[in-house]
Amino acid sequence: MNSNKTIYTGMSGGVDSSVTAASLKEQGFNVVGVYMKNWTQDIAGFECPWKEDYQDAKRVATKLGIDFKVFDFQKEYKQKVVDYMIAEYQAGQTPNPDIMCNQEVKFKLFLDASLADGADMIATGHYARTEGGQLLTAKNKEKDQTYFLYRVTEKALSRTLFPIGDFKTKQEVRDLAKKFGLPTANKKDSQGICFVGQVGIKDFLSEYIKTEPGAIINQNGEEIGEHEGAIFYTIGQRHGLNVGGGLPYYVTKKDVKTNKVYVTTDLSDKELWSKEVNLEDLHWINETPDSKKEYKVRMRYRGPLVSCTLSGKKLILKDEQRAIAAGQSAVIYEGDRCLGGGIII
Domains held by the chain: number: 3
Provide the pLDDT for residue 28.
Answer: 96
**Residue finishing a domain among 233, 264, 295:** 264
Provide the pLDDT for residue 196.
Answer: 61
- Please name the helix (run of DSSP H) or strand (run of DSSP E) that holds residue 75, with its range, or none: helix 74-77
Query: Is 147 in a helix, a strand, or coil?
Result: helix
> 168 and 24 in one domain?
yes
> 137 and 20 in one domain?
yes
The answer to the question of residue 185 being in a domain is: no
> 150 and 215 in one domain?
no
The residues annotated as belonging to the active site are: 101, 194
**Residue finishing a domain among 138, 163, 179:** 179
> 115 and 22 in one domain?
yes
| Predicted TM-score (pTM) of this structure | 0.94
- Residue 288: give the domain boundaries: 270-344
The answer to the question of residue 287 being in a domain is: yes
Q: How far is CA 58 from CA 5, 26, 128, 181, in A?
A: 22, 18, 24, 14
Provide the pLDDT for residue 47.
Answer: 85
pLDDT band for position 240 (cuts 50, 70, 90): confident
The answer to the question of residue 197 being in a domain is: no
Q: Mean pLDDT, to the nearest integer, of 150-179?
A: 97
Provide the pLDDT for residue 4.
Answer: 85
Strand pairing category for 306-311 and 295-298: antiparallel
pLDDT band for position 243 (cuts 50, 70, 90): confident
Separation of alpha carbons 42 and 152, rounded Å: 29
> 293 and 152 in one domain?
no
Provide the pLDDT for residue 44.
Answer: 75
The answer to the question of residue 303 being in a domain is: yes
> 161 and 259 in one domain?
no
> Can you give the CATH number for the domain in which 79 is found?
3.40.50.620
The answer to the question of residue 188 being in a domain is: no
> 219 and 113 in one domain?
no
Laid out side by side, the sheet with 223-227 consists of 223-227, 214-217, 260-264, 250-255
Separation of alpha carbons 241 and 73, rounded Å: 37
Separation of alpha carbons 216 and 224, rounded Å: 6
> Can you give the CATH number for the domain in which 309 is found?
2.40.30.10
Backbone angle region of 251, left / alpha / beta, with phi > 0 → left and psi within -120 to 50 → alpha: beta
Q: CA angle, 201 as apex, 198 and 203 as ends, to 5°?
A: 85
8 CB-contact burial (10 Å; exposed 0-12 / middle 13-18 / buried 19+): buried
pLDDT at 107 over 80: yes
> Can you give the CATH number for the domain in which 235 is found?
2.30.30.280
The answer to the question of residue 189 being in a domain is: no
Burial 167-181 (b: 16+ CB within 10 A, else e): beebeebbebbeebe
> 287 and 158 in one domain?
no
Separation of alpha carbons 232 and 201, rounded Å: 8
What share of the chain has pLDDT > 90, as a percent? 88
- Asked whether 20 and 123 are in contact (CB, 8 A), the reply is yes
